[in-house]
């Protein structure tokens, strides 16, 4: 508290949070003089809730992006190749002829890519691969 006084923070208002996962946090507002009406306290409480929610969303988004970057490296060259041909509108049979492999093998590569990219279908998988810049 002494360190806060050095920077002119003599009074403050703290909004505590108890998260669903059991963790706790708080957001503090401070200044030289902090005389708040009940309406101003309520407004700061709402601002704190919004700020904490936004910070949590940003953190989760960063975790997903990092997880996506790790997943990108796990696609095999053949899975990427099959995804590129699929993005070009080719069927599994067309891709099998182009790559000289069986249709079933093509379907296996595409299913594996869907699993790795957490996609629900081939179109979603292609869209996810484009979004992650695996294919263009």
Q: What is the pLDDT of residues 73-83, one digit of tens each?
A: 589 999 999 99
Identify whether the C-beta of residue 132 lies closer than 8 Å to the C-beta of residue 72: yes
How many residues make up the chain in this entry?
136
Q: How far is CA 108 from the centre of its chain?
A: 27
* pLDDT grade for 108, boundaries at 50, 70 and 90: very high
Q: Kindly report, residue by residue over 13-39, the tens digit of the pLDDT.
A: 899 987 766 778 888 888 888 889 999
Among residues of the chain, what percentage have pLDDT more than 90?
A: 40
4: three-class secondary structure by DSSP: helix
**pLDDT at position 99:** 96
* pLDDT, position 93: 96
Radius of gyration of the chain (CA): 26
- pTM of the prediction? 0.49
């Amino acid at each position: 508290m002494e360190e806060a006084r050095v920077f002119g923070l003599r009074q403050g208002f703290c909004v505590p949070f108890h998260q669903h996962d059991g963790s706790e946090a708080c957001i503090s507002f401070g200044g030289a003089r902090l005389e708040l009406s009940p309406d101003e306290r309520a407004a700061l409480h709402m601002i704190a809730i919004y700020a904490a929610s936004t910070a949590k969303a940003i953190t989760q988004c960063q975790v997903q992006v990092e997880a996506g970057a790790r997943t990108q490296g796990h696609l095999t060259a053949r899975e990427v190749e099959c995804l590129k041909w699929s993005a070009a509108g080719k069927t599994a049979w067309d891709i099998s002829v182009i790559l000289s492999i069986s249709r079933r093998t093509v379907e296996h590569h595409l299913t594996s890519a869907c699993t790795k990219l957490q996609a629900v279908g081939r179109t979603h998988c292609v869209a996810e691969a484009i979004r992650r810049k695996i294919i263009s």
